[in-house]
Structure 1
Amino acid sequence: MAVLKVKFSKIRRGKLAQVLWILNWISVVTGLIIFSLGLYLKIEIKKRSELMLSGNIQSVPNMLIAVGSIACIINFFGGKICYDCSDANKFSRWKLFMLPYIICTFFFTFCVFAGAIMCYTMRNELESALYRGLKDALKYYKDTDIPGRCFLKSTIDLLQIQFQCCGNNGFRDWFEIQWISVRYLDMGSKDTIDRFKSNVDGRYLLDGVPFSCCNPSSPRPCIQYQITNNSAHYNYDYLSEELNIWLRGCREALLEYYEHLMQSIGLTVLLVWLFELSVLTGVRYLQTAMENVLILGDPESESDGWLLQNSCMETAKHNFQIIKKLGKINQISTLSGKTDPNVDIPTADYGPDNVPPSSIPDS
């Protein structure tokens, strides 16, 4: 029994073909939208690639770019098919291509759905890449004279100002690294030498943060040095007082930004997937309805259209049997060079004695 069978008159078939032609052209536009979203996400990730360790985070934008490009090609081709399928004579030219086209479109819509799901599932990979990338970037903050690292100071300062964040997990991350270059330290000062010697690794550590961590909205002048020293500042208690530096870590801020971006893109791609699925359903109805018109031989007659000719279980069993037979036919022994004796190989019907014409002697 056919699944979701619908009866179509000639007028309804023509209207369905026209609607699908329009929808396919709209799908070309949606393909361009997916392509643009993937390109935008790729640029946004590339923009801060120095703050991330390379991994699989580029797989999502690459997937969206590929899916968007394929969508434009498939739907452009589908629009041409649907335009011709309004006429039974023109449909006969596309009859052999319709089923492969529908199967390819089905797998394509699955790729669109996979792209939408990937947008919601890359949080862990992105968080790991940001954590390790920011950790290394903060460590090289002071290396303004070293080629390849000289830009990191300005990058991190602009990041902390733009996203109102400080450090990797928080402002205390700056306490654990030497973020001031040696060229700006007075190596003849006893305080500087004592600070170097007080650390096992021989680093110049202090309880301070760069200026970009300061909150300009705070009424008090920014306290960026000796943050944990209450006696160094008048009327100050860092444990009870609200600090005038950003408390949120940059990893959390960037993760929140990219997560919001990917959720928006994922929702858009999911809506496109539902739209593509509806177009695919309409094309399947048009294909089956037009094929039945050719069987009836009367272009003016009504015809049935359906999604599946048989039930889901029957269709699955039928396809499984086809795959099983193909597997048996292709089963060849690599050792003996003989075919499977349990498989009947069809022979050509040359004549009553089944003798090929080349073996009959000339009279």
Structure 2
Amino acid sequence: MAVLPVRFTKTKRDKLAQVLWVLNWISIVTGIILFSLGIFLKVEINKRQDLMVERQLQSVPNMLIAVGLIACAINFLGGKICYDCVDTNKFLRWKLVMLPYIICTFFFTLSVLVGALMCYSMLGQLEESLTLGLRDAMRYYKDTDTPGRCFLKHTVDQLQIQFQCCGNEGYRDWFQIQWVSNRYLDMSQREVVDRLRSNVEGKYLMDGVPFSCCNVNSPRPCIQYQITNNSAHFNYDYQTEELNLWMRGCRQALLEYYADIMHSIGLTVLIIWLFELSVLTGVRYLQTSLENVLRQGDPECESDGWLLENSFVETARTNFNIIKHLGKFNQINTASNGDPNIDRPPTAHYGPDNVPPKPLPTSS
């Protein structure tokens, strides 16, 4: 029994072919959108790649770019096929191409769905990448004289100002690293020497943060040194002065920023997938209805179209049997290629000396 059969008249078949021709051209536009989304996501990731550790983050934008290019090619071909299918005689040129085209389009549509799911699954990798990348960037913040790291101070400061964040998880992360270069430490001061000696690794640690952590909305001048020392500042309590510094960590700020982008892209790709699925369904109905017209031999007759000629179970069983027979056929070919004695006639054995008997004399 066919799955979702629909009865088509000649007029309905022609209208279906015309609508599908328009939808395929619209699908080319959706392919361009997919390509553009992939480029946009790739640029956004590369823009802050210095703050990330490589975790295969480029796979999602590369997937969207590839799917977008394939969409343009497949839908251009689909538009040409649907345009010719208005005339039943022209359909004969595409009859052998239609089924492979539908199979390829099915896997392409499936890849669009995979791309949408990858957008949502990428957030876990992105969070881990940002956590490790920001940790390393803060560690090298002071290395303004080291080649390859001299730009990280500017990058981190720009990040904290733009996203109104401080540190990795929060401003206290700066207390655990030396973010002031030894070049700017006065070794003649006893306080500096004591701080260096008090740390096992010889680092200059203090309860201070870079200027970029200062909250511009604070009603008082920013306090970025001796933050936890209430007596060092007038009318100050660091536990209640939340407006003095940005409280949110940069990892959370960046994760929310990329999460909004990924959710928007994922939703757009899902909508495109539904659209491509509807186009694929229409092309399948057009193909089956036109093949039934050819069987009946009358271009003006009514014909049935369906998604599957048999039920899902029967179709799966048939395909499984085809695959199983192909596997057996390959095994036979492999065995025959490996054993030279297969498919050869048996050798005759005449006796212990393997000598054929003499022929009998013929009577004259």
TM-score, normalised via structure 2 length: 0.92
Deviation at 1:89, TM superposition (A): 0.6
- Letter aligned with residue 303 of structure 2: S
1:356 is matched with: none
2:13 is matched with: 13
- Letter aligned with residue 89 of structure 2: N
- Letter aligned with residue 68 of structure 2: G
1:360 is matched with: none
Q: Where does 1:88-127 land on structure 2 (aligned, <5 Å)?
A: 88-127=88-127
Q: Take 1:109 and 1:20, find their aligned partners in 2: how far apart are those partners?
A: 16
Deviation at 1:241, TM superposition (A): 3.3
Moved more, 187-196 or 136-145: 187-196
Moved more, 324-333 or 132-141: 324-333
- Letter aligned with residue 259 of structure 1: A
Q: Take 2:341 and 2:248, find their aligned partners in 1: how far apart are those partners?
A: 72
| Secondary structure at the counterpart of residue 330 of structure 1 | helix
Deviation at 1:339, TM superposition (A): 6.5
1:275 is matched with: 275
| Secondary structure at the counterpart of residue 304 of structure 2 | strand
Give CA-to-partner distance per residue, 1:275-324, whole Å, 9 cap, x none: 00000000000000111111111111111110000111111111111111
Moved more, 181-190 or 112-121: 181-190
Q: Take 1:269 and 1:337, find their aligned partners in 2: how far apart are those partners?
A: 55
- Letter aligned with residue 181 of structure 2: S
Match of 1:336 among 336, 339, 344: 339
Structure 2, unaligned runs of 5 or more: 344-364
Sequence identity percentage: 71
Q: Where does 1:1-363 land on structure 2 (aligned, <5 Å)?
A: 1-331=1-331, 332-333=334-335, 335-337=338-340
Confirm or deny: 8 A CA contact 2:217 2:243 kept in the other structure.
Answer: no
Q: Take 1:8 and 1:217, find their aligned partners in 2: how far apart are those partners?
A: 68
Give CA-to-partner distance per residue, 1:149-184, whole Å, 9 cap, x none: 111111100100000000011101100111111111
| Secondary structure at the counterpart of residue 168 of structure 2 | coil
- Letter aligned with residue 158 of structure 2: L
Structure 1, unaligned runs of 5 or more: 341-363
| Secondary structure at the counterpart of residue 57 of structure 2 | coil
- Letter aligned with residue 5 of structure 1: P
- Letter aligned with residue 84 of structure 2: D
Bigger Rg, structure 1 or 2: 2
Q: Take 1:250 and 1:163, find their aligned partners in 2: how far apart are those partners?
A: 7
Deviation at 1:145, TM superposition (A): 1.0
| Secondary structure at the counterpart of residue 109 of structure 2 | helix
| Secondary structure at the counterpart of residue 310 of structure 2 | coil
- Letter aligned with residue 97 of structure 1: V
Q: Take 2:66 and 2:188, find their aligned partners in 1: how far apart are those partners?
A: 60
Deviation at 1:40, TM superposition (A): 0.3
Moved more, 304-313 or 319-328: 319-328
TM-score, normalised via structure 1 length: 0.92
Q: Aligned pair in 2 of structure 1 residues 338, 10: CA closer, same or farther (>3 Å)?
A: farther
Give CA-to-partner distance per residue, 1:313-355, whole Å, 9 cap, x none: 1111111111111111111326425779xxxxxxxxxxxxxxx
Moved more, 331-340 or 93-102: 331-340
CA RMSD of aligned residues (A): 1.3
- Letter aligned with residue 13 of structure 1: R
Moved more, 232-241 or 8-17: 232-241
Q: Take 1:47 and 1:166, find their aligned partners in 2: how far apart are those partners?
A: 19
